[in-house]
Amino acid sequence: MDVCRIVTARFGVYAAAIAVLTGLGLFFLAGVRIAESWGWFALASFGGVVASAWSIRSALGPGADAVRPAREDSEGAEPEPSVGLPPGQVAPSTPLEPEPDEVDYLMALRHEFRTPLNAVLGFSDVLLSGIDGEVNDSQREDLEIIRASGIRLRILLDSALDLSQLAGGELRLDVDRADVRELLARVAVEAGQLWSNKRRAGCTLPDRPCIIDVDEARLRRSILVLADLLATDHRDADIGLILVLSDDHIAIEAIADPSDRMTLGTLPTPAEVLASEDATEIRRWPVAVASEVIARHGGSLYHGDAPSRFLIRLPLERT
């Protein structure tokens, strides 16, 4: 992998992260409240984000430009004769494989974004815990919004990268044994944080353990995406998460009550989202990724109305 491209992308990401963390320090530690100072900070933060986007685009540019001329030259060239074939017959072309450099760069970019994002979420939790001093109600509300925005950004980042891997046929589940009861309980906690603790997600769990082979991180994110869609569609409804264990499968239900109909008519697929030109459909790509992740677990996803709900069915033994 080109070292210059990694360094450029890393510098852009860290520049934006430092701008955000500096602002948090000025607000909570230095006690800066002057409107003019915050105006300059907002301008500097915007500049940091723009610089980050520009540097990442610049880092991606050389790789794309380097590949393009080779493909154009190959299209205009005559096919070379193939050894061992009759005259006039050309060997079948080999499908283009993704360059290892491009795949590695995608994973590196994911890591570089998650590192400063985890720092923002971690220090938000530290400040909310009161370890560095008590915070008043107004500061707590601001910190909860910062944490919720960070969680939402992490969901979008991970879902976007999964969507790109689905498009290239490269998504692989990281499967391990996990207790779905603990997974669902954690989703309920993260849902409250995602909604800035203004709403809570109820959680009904069975008494006995429910251990199956799953990609815990992806399944947890998928359930959170579905619960968040219900909460967005029905702002006055209570969101509940229910886990039911049977002999051959488990059922996970996310329900909004009271509610009537969801804005989601049908479950989108990754292919439909990538091919769509409708902004409303494109914004549903996290749901498309969630549906595909559940299918990769050998499960199925259903949705219905009155009340609005999602139902996930997963086999106890993956096929």
CATH of the domain at 251: 3.30.565.10
Same domain, 301 and 188: yes
- Cα–Cα distance between 257 and 230 in angstroms, integer? 10
Identify whether 74 is part of a domain: no
pLDDT at res. 197: 84
pLDDT at res. 86: 46
pLDDT at res. 289: 95
DSSP state at residue 304: E
* Residue 305, domain extent: 177-315
Identify whether 76 is part of a domain: no
Residue type, 150: G
Residue 240: closest CA among 190, 290, 188, 197: 188
DSSP state at residue 308: T
Contact 52, 16 (CB under 8 A): yes
Identify whether 172 is part of a domain: no
pLDDT at res. 279: 75
Q: Cis peptide leading into 258, omega within 30 of 0?
A: yes
Identify whether 128 is part of a domain: yes
Q: Give pLDDT tens digits for 190-221.
A: 999 999 888 999 999 999 889 999 999 999 99
Identify whether 160 is part of a domain: no
2, two tokens: 């080109």
Identify whether 92 is part of a domain: no
Same domain, 126 and 236: no
Contact 243, 250 (CB under 8 A): yes
270 alpha carbon, distance to own chain's centre: 14
Identify whether 149 is part of a domain: no
Same domain, 127 and 16: yes
Contact 225, 217 (CB under 8 A): no
- In this structure, what is the dihedral angle of CA atoms 151, 152, 157, 158, given to the nearest 10 degrees? 70
Domain count within the chain: 2
- Cα–Cα distance between 250 and 314 in angstroms, integer? 5
Name the E strands within 16-158.
none
Return the half-sphere exposure (C-beta side, CA atoms, 13 A cut-off) of residue 57.
6
User: What is the length of the chain?
Assistant: 319
Contact 310, 303 (CB under 8 A): yes
Q: Which of 109, 135, 161 is the last residue of a domain?
A: 135
- Calculate the alpha carbon distances from 189 to 109, 202, 224 in Å: 28, 9, 10
**Which residues are CB-contacts of 105 (< 8 A; sequence separation ≥ 6)?**
1, 5, 6, 60, 63
Same domain, 7 and 129: yes
pTM of the predicted structure, to 2 decimals: 0.68
Q: Which of 81, 116, 135 is the last residue of a domain?
A: 135
Identify whether 94 is part of a domain: no
Long-range contacts: 103-110, Cβ < 8 Å, 24+? 103/170, 104/1, 105/1, 105/5, 105/6, 105/60, 105/63, 106/161, 106/164, 108/1, 108/6, 108/9, 109/9, 109/56, 110/157, 110/158, 110/161
15, two tokens: 């520049």
Please report, in tens digits, the pLDDT of each residue of the chain (319 residues total). 455 555 555 666 666 666 666 666 656 555 555 555 556 566 666 555 555 555 555 555 544 443 334 334 444 444 444 444 444 444 444 444 444 444 456 667 667 777 888 888 888 888 888 888 888 989 889 999 999 999 998 898 888 889 888 888 888 999 999 999 999 999 999 999 999 888 999 999 999 889 999 999 999 999 999 999 999 999 999 999 999 998 889 999 999 999 988 888 889 888 888 888 877 777 788 999 999 999 999 999 999 998 999 999 999 875 4
Same domain, 183 and 108: no
